[in-house]
Structure 1
Amino acid sequence: MIATFITDYFVPIMFLSLIVLLLTGFPVAFGLAATGLVFGVLGIALELFPTNLFQVLPLRIFGIMQNETMLAIPFFTLMGIILERSGMAEDLLETMGQLFGAVRGGLAVSVVLVGALLAASTGVTSAVVISMGLISLPVMLRYGYKREIASGVITASGALVQALPPSLVLIVMADQLGRSVGDMYAAALGPGLLLLVIYIVFIVVLALLRPSWMPALPEQARSQTTATGASGRRSLGMLVLVCTFIGFTWAGLHNEVMAQVFSKPAHAPSDQIAITALIVASLSALLFASVNRVTGWGLLSHLAERFVFALIPPVILIFLVLGTIFLGIATPTEGGAMGAIGALVLALARKRLTWSLLNQALENTAKLAIFVMFILIGSTVFSFTFSAADGHLWVEHLFDAIPGGELGFVIAVSAIIFVLGMFLDFFEIAFIVVPLLTPVANSLGIDLIWFGIVIALVLQTSFLTPPFGFALLYLRSVAPRSDYIDPVSQQTIPRVRTQQIWKGSAYFVVLQLLVVGIVIAYPQLVTGGLHKTVSLSEEEILLQLNRPAPDLDSLDARRADDPLSNPFEAQASSDHDPMAVLLQSMRSSP
């Protein structure tokens, strides 16, 4: 009787067992693996599975080890930790504060912009929220910012990590959905920038309606002035105009220059021209500021020089890393490695690279990489047994009852991810939930790139939602829990209550939901630039058709002389390939 019941409801019992195991606090990686192994053995005992069910499981695990895409995670993590620990956040925030602090809400806008830059360089929510909480929250409280607004701005800017490349969420999402990381990054750029603009517009409008909530910085706090007492913004504005002109000039001459360099006609796509133009403009600003400092010409104000040296190097690094990935020049793994090397060079150039910093960065990177690898192995074991039991069919039947077709499915999935995101880490959701939903989305004809971006935005929203949002917990860990005396103003600053953090994040949760709704209603915002068709003229088609075929006789002769030139005849050496050794031993075993 019990055996019949378990056989009939094998998949839901397996799924509920996993949920119960996770709710008891059992480690996620081991809970996934234990559930998969126990129910796999149980299925073999009940004759639901063949006795050799787990025979190919070691090959799956070796396949995980050989997944080059996952190498991007430790590389981008190392890049972000080095940039964050080398003082980039402090330099950027101080410079942005000098630039925008004269207007109401300027400091909040600076926090959002710096948070976006940190998000684009670190890819880790906790690092951004904790850094901004330690650096910017005391400054905002010192100058009279409303606690709810200060808390909301910091948590919202930290949560931008989920939607702005090179987000670790997008790397894992692309791997689980079977899509290109470069396409996922390119698709996330539009919604991420839209969200950033909406944040800034909201802050500006709120500063106009409630000026006492976000006062301007006092004159004595804006110390970056020229010898005549001017702010130095005119000099910075002229530099921006000159570099913008150089960038547009390069964009117009790009194809001609490339044709001269490579001695053949060049017709680069618009996105490649835009990225190279931004890099040229940024390098021009850095070169001009460096020459001005060395020669002592005095053409740039102290504010302009500080702005260039604090902002341009990390921006150039981000452009190089993401640009090479977008343009297909480098894989995400190669881009991440280049970013890690670039971060080391920047930290060394600023004389902030110490053995202690490097040791902490490598240790934290190794911990995160091991954490991800164990969860991925556990989820592979679980999904192996779950798929063998036709669990994907059970999931499809569950969603068949939801009305609305594709839209109903996406809304239901968004609601589920939203709730889970307040309790589970995004790695756990990506490795457990996303593989279960992907076959259903694929069968409904949903674009998986768009589907992944929606999930990332919903996860970002859940990270901000009280009372269990991870970003709120990170800020709570560094926000003052008791009254303290500010070391600069010598005034007593009241503590930040948990309810104030919750209330401040609620404003930005509404903005998040607005962007999620826009992305769901207008999928072309995500997929518009991805599915490009290549148009060929009639002459180009005829040229391809009339191209002579290779000489097959000479090809056969070359293969006879060199067997390794034929991939079907080549004999792969198994001496150094663990997968090949394991496969050979399995084939030869009786």
Structure 2
Amino acid sequence: MIEYIPLFMFAAVCVVLLMGYPVAFSLAGTALFFAFGGILAGIFDPSYLNATPSRLYGLITNQTLIAVPLFVFMGCMLQQSKIAENLLESMAQVFGRVRGGLGISVAIVGALLAASTGIVGATVVTMGLISLPTMLKKGYSPAIATGTICATGTLGQIIPPSIALVLLGDVLSSAYQQAQQNQGIFSPDTVSVGDLFVGAMIPGLILVILYMLYLLSVAWFRPDLIPHGSTETSSEPQAPKSILRDLTPALLLIVTVLGSILSGIATPTEAAGVGALGALLLAGARRQLTGTVLRDVCQSTTKVTCMVFMILIGATLFSLVFRAYNGDELIQHIFSQMPGGEITAIIVVMLVIFLLGFILDFIEITFVVVPIVAPVLLMMDINPVWLGIMIALNLQTSFLTPPFGFSLFYLRGVAPDHIKTTQIYKGVAPFIGIQLLMLIILSLWPGLATWLPDIVY
């Protein structure tokens, strides 16, 4: 019975999270409960807890995680500079004569905002306020309109710079080092956030294309859900110079941030600093940089950063106690007994992450599930970059899957009252199917995630 305590720990923390307690304190509280309970029962060595201060110090001084507040600051500042509004107007003019052109415009703008901010909540709320009324006015089905906005808003999970990829990169780096140590390999090689950023580009682009193909097919075969393109534009087309002026700020920021990473000029953390400064300059150039705006952006950045680091602290303590009970060995034993080897293990892990996405946020899954299963999977000689992109794509579904998908909550908060929640759920269902299709495509052709990092690095 003692050897199954790690499974009881995992089940206990899931139950506590479902009861509505904060993630950070659920992780830390569950860990301490099992640690002190084990000490009283004489089955837990208290010396394991001596490693807690050094673990926490290493966490706080981790240079990779500095990218989190910088990218959050960049996203919040861009939200204030009204770049999304100008982008949507310009894209609607470009694709206005195409069937489903407005929907395609929303998908493209969502992708550009994802590549500019990396923050799902900001993208969904901004697109919901700007594009949802227009789509409904032009005759789009409420389900199609809300589903498109929710799905394109979650592109910030997979398209770099993504907060999810930053956090996942840090967790996978630790898991990769642990896997090598378990195999008796002592190598300086690791998994960097830059690897995941580069590896996510092609899958992210394919996902956007699949979204657009879906919208085009609905526009052609179900004109009652999406109107003809000629009814979607105004009678006065926007001048190419004006369109270029609206596109330039976002494209310039994307090229600056991602280009500096791809060229090797800057690390992801340094590129995040460049992006934060660029967003600040853009807001100033648009005369949106006031004292009130700067205060609100700083407050939002501080709240998100504190939340992430508190969860990291709780996850570190949980991981420490979990491994003290030999949880990693238990998971390795379970996986090794599965028929089919690494293929079955990958399928089981992906299925568990997908199902947990119905009830848990991506941060919770990243810090509870990934540290447990990743070292075992990496010991099976699975490519860490491919594994990271697969997990990121799977985690993206946690923002869309009812009933606790955060994108659904974000859009519900800004959608008109006459839009039913069931319509939002119905609208995201096809996009969840597209994301699962993308997972299958990536599993069949791993090179989609590994080819570009092998060239760049």
TM-score (norm 2): 0.92
Name the CA distance, whole Å, in 2 between partners of 1:313 and 1:99. Answer: 17
Provide the secondary structure at the position in 1 that maps to 2:339: coil
Shift in Å at residue 90 of structure 1? Answer: 0.7
Cα offsets for 1:42-84 (capped at 9, x unmatched): 3334444444322221111111110011110110111111111
Residue type of the alignment partner of 2:153: G
Describe how 1:195-214 pairs up with structure 2 within 5 A: 195-214=207-226
Name the CA distance, whole Å, in 1 between partners of 2:31 and 2:232. Answer: 63
Name the CA distance, whole Å, in 2 between partners of 1:168 and 1:161. Answer: 8
Cα offsets for 1:321-345 (capped at 9, x unmatched): 1111122211111111110100010
Aligned to 1:114: 109
Q: 2:66 aligns with which of 51, 71, 75?
A: 71
Aligned to 2:444: 521
Shift in Å at residue 28 of structure 1? Answer: 1.5
Larger deviation: 340-349 or 328-337? 328-337
Aligned to 1:89: 84
Name the CA distance, whole Å, in 2 between partners of 1:77 and 1:405. Answer: 40
Name the CA distance, whole Å, in 2 between partners of 1:438 and 1:9. Answer: 19
Shift in Å at residue 304 of structure 1? Answer: 1.2
Describe how 1:124-139 pairs up with structure 2 within 5 A: 124-139=119-134
Aligned to 2:401: 465
Q: 1:80 aligns with which of 75, 78, 82?
A: 75
Shift in Å at residue 452 of structure 1? Answer: 1.1
User: Kindly tell me: are residues 220 and 404 of structure 1, through their superposed partners in 2, closer, same or farther at Cα, counting changes over 3 Å?
Assistant: closer
Provide the secondary structure at the position in 1 that maps to 2:64: helix
Name the CA distance, whole Å, in 1 between partners of 2:3 and 2:279. Answer: 55
Aligned to 1:58: 53
Q: Confirm or deny: 8 A CA contact 1:82 1:361 kept in the other structure.
A: yes
Aligned to 1:407: 343
Larger deviation: 422-431 or 214-223? 214-223
Is residue 479 of structure 1 aligned with residue 402 of structure 2?
no
Shift in Å at residue 311 of structure 1? Answer: 0.6
Shift in Å at residue 533 of structure 1? Answer: 11
Aligned to 1:17: 12
Is residue 181 of structure 1 aligned with residue 193 of structure 2?
yes
Name the CA distance, whole Å, in 2 between partners of 1:13 and 1:209. Answer: 50
Larger deviation: 461-470 or 52-61? 461-470
Name the CA distance, whole Å, in 2 between partners of 1:466 and 1:371. Answer: 23
Q: 1:194 aligns with which of 206, 218, 235?
A: 206
Q: 1:426 aligns with which of 362, 373, 377?
A: 362
- Cα RMSD (Å): 1.9
Is residue 500 of structure 1 aligned with residue 423 of structure 2?
yes
User: Kindly tell me: are residues 397 and 132 of structure 1, through their superposed partners in 2, closer, same or farther at Cα, counting changes over 3 Å?
Assistant: same
Describe how 1:371-390 pairs up with structure 2 within 5 A: 371-390=307-326
Provide the secondary structure at the position in 2 that maps to 1:528: helix
User: Kindly tell me: are residues 35 and 461 of structure 1, through their superposed partners in 2, closer, same or farther at Cα, counting changes over 3 Å?
Assistant: closer
Name the CA distance, whole Å, in 2 between partners of 1:346 and 1:330. Answer: 21
Provide the secondary structure at the position in 2 that maps to 1:530: helix
Cα offsets for 1:130-164 (capped at 9, x unmatched): 11111101001111112221112111111111110
Shift in Å at residue 221 of structure 1? Answer: 4.8
Name the CA distance, whole Å, in 2 between partners of 1:206 and 1:23. Answer: 37
Shift in Å at residue 530 of structure 1? Answer: 2.5
Q: Confirm or deny: 8 A CA contact 2:361 2:399 kept in the other structure.
A: no
Q: How many residues align?
A: 440
Provide the secondary structure at the position in 2 that maps to 1:26: coil
Cα offsets for 1:310-366 (capped at 9, x unmatched): 111211111111111122211111111110100010111111112221111111110
Q: 1:448 aligns with which of 384, 397, 403?
A: 384
Describe how 1:142-541 pairs up with structure 2 within 5 A: 142-178=137-173, 179-216=191-228, 221-225=233-237, 303-481=239-417, 495-532=418-455
Name the CA distance, whole Å, in 1 between partners of 2:341 and 2:428. Answer: 33
Shift in Å at residue 532 of structure 1? Answer: 5.0
Shift in Å at residue 199 of structure 1? Answer: 1.2
Shift in Å at residue 223 of structure 1? Answer: 4.8
TM-score (norm 1): 0.72
Q: Confirm or deny: 8 A CA contact 2:362 2:396 kept in the other structure.
A: no
Q: Confirm or deny: 8 A CA contact 2:3 2:325 kept in the other structure.
A: no
Aligned to 1:574: none
Gaps of 5+ in 1: 226-301, 482-494, 535-590
Provide the secondary structure at the position in 2 that maps to 1:193: helix
Name the CA distance, whole Å, in 1 between partners of 2:82 and 2:333. Answer: 52
Q: Confirm or deny: 8 A CA contact 1:183 1:326 kept in the other structure.
A: no
Q: 1:33 aligns with which of 28, 33, 50?
A: 28
Cα offsets for 1:99-141 (capped at 9, x unmatched): 2122321101100011111111111111111111111010011
Is residue 42 of structure 1 aligned with residue 37 of structure 2?
yes
Shift in Å at residue 417 of structure 1? Answer: 0.7
Name the CA distance, whole Å, in 2 between partners of 1:221 and 1:336. Answer: 36
Provide the secondary structure at the position in 1 that maps to 2:159: coil
Provide the secondary structure at the position in 2 that maps to 1:529: helix
User: Kindly tell me: are residues 144 and 13 of structure 1, through their superposed partners in 2, closer, same or farther at Cα, counting changes over 3 Å?
Assistant: closer
Name the CA distance, whole Å, in 1 between partners of 2:333 and 2:410. Answer: 38
Residue type of the alignment partner of 2:416: P
Q: Confirm or deny: 8 A CA contact 2:262 2:456 kept in the other structure.
A: no
User: Kindly tell me: are residues 101 and 220 of structure 1, through their superposed partners in 2, closer, same or farther at Cα, counting changes over 3 Å?
Assistant: closer
User: Kindly tell me: are residues 219 and 410 of structure 1, through their superposed partners in 2, closer, same or farther at Cα, counting changes over 3 Å?
Assistant: closer
Q: Confirm or deny: 8 A CA contact 1:28 1:375 kept in the other structure.
A: yes
Residue type of the alignment partner of 1:30: F
Residue type of the alignment partner of 2:336: D
Residue type of the alignment partner of 1:128: T
Cα offsets for 1:161-203 (capped at 9, x unmatched): 1110011111111100001111100100010000111111222
Residue type of the alignment partner of 1:314: A
